[in-house]
Amino acid sequence: MAQNLDKGIDQKALHDTLSAFGNILSCKVATDSSGQSKGYGFVQYDNEEAAKKAIEKLNGMLVNDKQVYVGPFLHKQERETALDNSKFNNVFVKNLSESASEEDLQNIFGEFGPITSVVVMKDAEGKSKCFGFVNFENPDDAARSVEALNGKKFEEKEWYVGKVQKKPERESELKHRFEQTVKEVSEKNQGTNLYIKNLDDGIDDDKHKELFELPLVQSHHVRDVHIYIIS
């Protein structure tokens, strides 16, 4: 997509510029009801490599004294999801010492901004489960706390501090990590046995076999190019 395009850049001009990087399947400059350019357009290549090359060569360049942003095309829902995922208020912290209290978390995380709630999770006997949650008023304060505290040691315990993830986000991340691990092990250790731990109780032998028969990594091809021109 090309945004804030010069009025003189029509579909032919956009096509001629971007065809240098590969075969174009479609090229369009969006126009209003009067035929005037809306200042953005779309280009679709017939292969991923051409799209990547266009992004690499054109992103950040000046065209008619305007800076061009060239990147993969994202549908509206994908853009909104990416924006939503970038902001968070609730922070998850684990690997706490058993003596770590909610007051301790309040004092440590409170240095980054106002906090609305803090909880250390406990079992039925009141014993700490060694993880908890901190909710900030401001997402920027939450992000700064994650950046500063993740990996830090407190009472000889190295904390993991990160954004609280919804179930679909956790599942997606775990699936990606699993696929990457299998791919790396398969490439480096052909013909060797693979040990997997921390499997869900619901994964039986048949499910285990099914998982390893799946393609190791499903590639997400980038063929559509999303272009912005920033004044």
List, for residues 62-92, the tens digit of each pLDDT value.
666 666 667 776 666 655 555 555 688 999 9
Mean pLDDT of the region 201-230:
54
Question: What pLDDT band is residue 51 in, cutting at 50, 70 and 90?
Answer: confident
CA distance 49 to 222: 8
Helices (H), the chain: 11-18, 48-58, 76-86, 102-109, 139-149, 167-188, 205-213
Q: Residue 229: is its pLDDT beyond 60?
A: no
Q: Is the full-model pTM beyond 0.95?
A: no
Helix, strand and coil content of the chain, in percent to the nearest 5, comes to 35, 25, 35
Structure tokens given for 21: 């990087």
CA distance 73 to 83: 15
CA angle 120, 122, 124 (to 5 degrees): 160
Helix (H, G, I), strand (E, B) or coil at 214: coil
- Give the per-residue pLDDT at 88: 87
